[in-house]
Amino acid sequence: MSFSEEMVTGHFTIDQMVGSMLLDQDVPQVPLGYVPYNGPAVVPDWLRGDPPRRRVLATFGVSLEQAERHQALSVEQLQGMLNSLADLDIELVVTLPERFQKELRHIPGNTRMVTFVPLHVIVPSCSAVIHHGGPGLFLDSIAHDVPQLMVSRVVPDIGERGPRTEQAGAGLWIPGDEPGELSGARIREHLVRLLDDPAFREGARRLREDLRAQPAPGQVIRELEKLTEHYRSRRTRHP
Distance CA 188, CA 12 (A): 42
What pTM did the predictor assign?
Answer: 0.88
Q: Write down the pLDDT at residue 60.
A: 87
Burial group, residue 55, by CB count within 10 angstroms (0-12, 13-18, 19+): buried
What pLDDT is recorded for position 64?
A: 46
SS3 195: helix
Packing angle, helices 135-143 and 198-212, rounded to 10: 100
3-state secondary structure of 126: strand
Q: Which domains does the chain have, with CATH numbers?
A: 1-32 (no CATH), 51-206 (3.40.50.2000)
* Per-residue confidence (pLDDT) for residue 145, from 0 to 100: 97
How many C-beta atoms surround the C-beta of residue 65 within 10 A? 15
Q: According to the model, what pLDDT value does residue 39 have?
A: 86
Give the pLDDT of the chain (239 residues) as one tens digit per residue: 576 677 677 888 889 999 888 877 788 888 999 999 888 889 999 999 999 999 999 998 654 455 555 578 889 999 999 999 999 999 999 999 999 999 999 999 999 999 999 999 999 999 999 999 999 999 999 999 999 999 988 888 899 999 999 999 999 999 988 888 999 999 999 999 999 999 999 999 999 999 999 999 888 998 899 888 888 876 655 55
**Bridge partners of 146?**
none
Three-state helix/strand/coil letters over 16-62: CCCHHHCCCCCCCEEECCCCCCCCCCCCCHHHCCCCCCEEEEEECCC
Angle CA(46)–CA(121)–CA(108) in degrees, nearest 5? Answer: 45
The one-character DSSP state at 70 is G
Give CA separation, 131 vs 11, 50, 105, 186, 222, in Å: 33, 22, 21, 14, 35
Q: Cα(118)–Cα(37) distance, rounded to whole angstroms?
A: 9
Closest by Cα among 48, 195, 36 to 120:
36
Q: Are strands 54-59 and 29-31 parallel, antiparallel or unpaired?
A: unpaired
Using CA atoms, how far residue 186 sits from 115, 149, 191, in Å, is 25, 11, 9
Q: Which residues pair with 160 in a beta bridge?
A: none
Rounded Cα distance, 194 and 15, in Å: 28
